[in-house]
Amino acid sequence: MADNESPPEADLSAEIEPAPDSDLPAAKEGVDDEVHKEEPDEARAEPQEPLLLQSSFQEAVGAAFVGTRIDNVNLGEARKNVATRVLHPEVLQEMSDTYVRKDRNGDDKASEVERILRQKKFVVIAGDEGTGRFIAAVNAILAAQLHPVQILLDSDDIERSLITKTGQGHLIDLGELEEEAVARLSKVLRDYVARIRAAISGLVIIATPQECRLLDPDDDAVVSVIGPCAESVFRSHLACATSRWYADQYAAYPRLKDALQGATTREATRLASLARKRADNKDCTSEEIIEEVLAEFLERANADVRDLFGNTSTDQSEYHRALVLAVSALEGARPAAVFSATAQLVEALELEKYPGRGSFGPGSSKLLASIDAELVDGVVRFRRTDYALPILDYAWGDHVYLRKHLDPWIISLGATNESDHVGSVLLHLAESHSVPNLIVDAVTSWAGRYASRARAVQLLDNAALSTEIGRSIRQSLYQWSAMSSTPEDIQVTVAEVCGGNLGSFFPGVALTRLRHLADCDSLRVKGTVCAALAALGKDDSLRGMILGEVVDWTNSTSERQTTGALAFATLAKERVEERYAFIPLPPAKQDLLDMLAQGWRATLRNAQTTAGASILAMEWMEAGVQIQASSEIITRIFATACRSSYDIGIIIPLARRWIRHSHEPSVMPREMLYEELLARIEESRPDLWNRSCRNAFDEM
């Protein structure tokens, strides 16, 4: 259908929205009365400005930072805490390569976990945090020749998020749930395990001993673990990153055992990471390098950092210390940004020693050289690598009394500077010092500013997937979505995050939050919710889940119902590789066609979406005659949508108008699709449509 042939919107609405007392005949007496009772108020109201056609709604959809438009912040060392959560193939390979099967008592609990999972398709790994429960679960699933998929349960609807897919090993961490939610999971666990077995998949639950008691599984399905020894974890990680011979040299060093005495598996992994950084292309290393690595692990290598901030007898002024923090927070930024950040910190802390106040002080090159930094290609960098984060860690960890000044200072830098390094720094500090509120405060500050809005989405997207603080951040996302008092900018940011990596990897979590946002009356929030759903709908594996959620909304409360209609229309126009993404390829399951029919019915009847949705429905019909989609599928969908004479009074005039105003050449005659549609309506609803009804309609 050519766009320039389309009639004015007012005329279109007038033809496809018959009044309740329309002369459209019904084959059965009393049908119209029944239809009038079920008509929603939205269907009867005369829309003044349909939301779907408002430019503000289209702008909200187009402006959203969702899906592939969300680029990961340069996370640096923090990336490992995000990557493990989403189980990328390379992460799975590393988990397999570094897995230590025997615990510190020499017992092979790994084989026991794998045996139970193969036999029962369900196992609970019970142990304290840091005992390797997660890596044991992943490797047991891989050993059972299943694909590991972590499930983050929806506390609002536990049963809905208990997915079962053939060939998948579903992994649930009870640490993600509140106690009350664990108790509810316990009540449906037997049924879920039965569905897991029927689907030829598997389920692994990891829990602390206390969580395990709340879950109350069968005793023969529980394996208690204490974790491997730190030295074994260190060797496996270093050998994987370098070579077995290189790891053997460290393991043979006498002081290594002392350094790892009493260390956790996470600390052993950190030591392996430090050793890897100092490795070269050779398979050998010197005792001097090993000593340096051990010294850094034991935090003696940062003595100069402590001296800088703690020794008042040093030559460094307070300004120099502020400059060091500014470079650490903005490494890679231009000098103007660094010195401006230094001035802000000096003012915030009311420091006295400030060279250059009212007179020319030292030049920038001299100031930078005094803190072992320099200009490289026009940006400021330390001369030493991996120096910035230890400085910030020390300042945030040892000078807690300054945090009330340091936190807002570093957050303010992200609101005005171009450098994305601030996002990486904030995520690192929040994870290292267990302060998720640092992320919450940053997002609250950044979301309403044009310059930092995208950065707020990026930071929140990564923090929501963090192993360390992800649970707290996702709870903040939930609270923001559910509270009507949440500022609009924050609601929009939450919707954008749900359409990004969080929604791609954990759609159930994202849909819960989008469901609450769908109740908002803000058109900007509605548009962003629709954009998030459209971004998730590009994934074939998520399309059915997204569609089911949206159709559920169309049967809900007034605001959510309207958002559902807007979202369905947004999904209906999405294209993937030159075809409409949500038009199924034949053969299509009837339940999918029923969902699409219900979506079209609700969207065409809603006064806020009727006009724009009618144009989209015509485009679907046009796709059928241009052989871009199955005409059979399309006619089945729209015929199924005709559940009342009111629906027929919308869809048939819409189809007739499409034929009259479409003049582009078509592969298949449009009249043929129209006749097929009428035949299907008559076949499925003879009580509403038959030959006499058609004759009367043609005479109108």
What whole-number distance in Å separates Cα of residue 276 and Cα of residue 247? 10
The answer to whether the CB of 442 falls within 8 A of the CB of 451 is no
If you average pLDDT over residues 638-660, what whole number do you get? 93
Q: pLDDT at residue 22 above 70? A: no
Q: pLDDT at residue 76 above 60? A: no
Sequence-separated (6 or more) residues with CB below 8 Å from residue 437: none
Tell me what pLDDT residue 296 has: 81
pLDDT tens readout for residues 89-129: 888 888 899 999 999 999 999 999 999 999 999 999 999 98
Per-residue pLDDT band at 685 (split at 50, 70, 90): confident
pLDDT tens readout for residues 282-296: 778 888 899 888 888
Q: What is the mean pLDDT of the chain?
A: 85
User: Residue length, the chain?
Assistant: 700
Q: Which of 311, 319, 271, 308 lies closest to 293 in space, CA to CA?
A: 271
Tell me what pLDDT residue 16 has: 37
Which residue would you say has higher pLDDT here, 10 or 324?
324
What whole-number distance in Å separates Cα of residue 88 and Cα of residue 94? 10
CATH class of 101-224: alpha beta
Per-residue burial over 656-673, b if 16 or more Cβ lie within 10 Å, else e, is: ebbbeebeeebeeebeeb
Per-residue pLDDT band at 60 (split at 50, 70, 90): confident
Torsion of CA 289, 301, 377, 330, to 10 degrees: 140
If you average pLDDT over residues 231-257, what whole number do you get? 91
Tell me what pLDDT residue 366 has: 87
Tell me what pLDDT residue 352 has: 66
Tell me what pLDDT residue 59 has: 86
If you average pLDDT over residues 467-471, what whole number do you get? 87
Per-residue pLDDT band at 531 (split at 50, 70, 90): very high
Task: Kindly report the number of other CB atoms within 10 A of residue 48's CB atom.
Answer: 6
Per-residue pLDDT band at 264 (split at 50, 70, 90): confident
What whole-number distance in Å separates Cα of residue 541 and Cα of residue 405? 46
If you average pLDDT over residues 291-306, what whole number do you get? 76
Domain residue spans in the chain?
Answer: 1-50+574-700, 64-76+420-566, 101-224, 230-301, 304-415
Q: Which of 500, 581, 165, 458 lies closest to 514 in space, CA to CA?
A: 500
Per-residue pLDDT band at 30 (split at 50, 70, 90): very low
Tell me what pLDDT residue 337 has: 92
Of the chain, the percentage scoring pLDDT greater than 70 comes to: 85
DSSP 8: P
- Taking each helix axis from N to C end, the angle separating 558-572 and 540-553, rounded to the nearest 10 degrees, works out to 150
Kindly report the backbone phi and psi dihedral angles of residue 550, in degrees, each rounded to the nearest multiple of 5, phi listed first. -65, -45
Per-residue pLDDT band at 1 (split at 50, 70, 90): very low
What whole-number distance in Å separates Cα of residue 215 and Cα of residue 676? 55
Q: pLDDT at residue 636 above 90? A: yes
Tell me what pLDDT residue 11 has: 36
What whole-number distance in Å separates Cα of residue 636 and Cα of residue 593? 7
Tell me what pLDDT residue 426 has: 95
Extended beta strands in 357-511, E state: 373-376, 379-382
> Residue 617 has which token pair?
């429905």
Looking at 57-71, 189-203, 365-379, 540-554, which range is the least confident one?
A: 57-71
What whole-number distance in Å separates Cα of residue 294 and Cα of residue 300? 9
Which residue would you say has higher pLDDT here, 461 or 87?
461
pLDDT tens readout for residues 305-334: 777 776 655 456 788 889 999 999 999 999
Of the chain, the percentage scoring pLDDT greater than 90 comes to: 54
pLDDT tens readout for residues 118-162: 999 999 999 998 899 999 999 999 999 999 988 888 777 788 788
pLDDT tens readout for residues 200-228: 999 999 999 999 999 999 999 999 999 99
